[in-house]
Amino acid sequence: MKRCHVLVILAAACLVIGASPASAQTFQSYLCADGSQFGAGFFQYDSRAHLQIDGKAVTLTRRLAVSGKRYSGGGVTLTLTKAGATLKHRKRPTTACSLI
């Protein structure tokens, strides 16, 4: 009976270790032409982008885009393409951003 409990505990530990959230997430830092800087988090099973901008957390919903990926919400629009990224933040003009 004890052997069965040990096997169950080992199996549960393997599942927890195998489902490490670190392998399912990407964090990126961007610097924009206007001097603004933000961090973006993308998670494997979440279609949204999670930004940290101006000291606030903002969750952006993925929107339809002709090319690349576009996310918007909370007055912020983030567009990611092969050429780079652009950020539109509230009433500020759209600015080009690059990974840092």
**CATH number of the domain enclosing 88:** 2.40.128.200
Assigned domain for 17 exists: no
User: 34 is in which domain, residue-wise?
Assistant: 23-99
Q: Which helix or strand (DSSP H or E) is residue 7 part of?
A: helix 2-18
Assigned domain for 7 exists: no
Q: Which helix or strand (DSSP H or E) is residue 79 part of?
A: strand 76-81
Assigned domain for 41 exists: yes
Q: Check residue 22 and give its pLDDT.
A: 52
Q: What are phi and psi of 75, to 5 degrees?
A: 80, 10
Assigned domain for 9 exists: no
The total number of structural domains that make up the chain: 1
**Within the chain, which residues score under 70 in pLDDT?**
1-24
Assigned domain for 4 exists: no
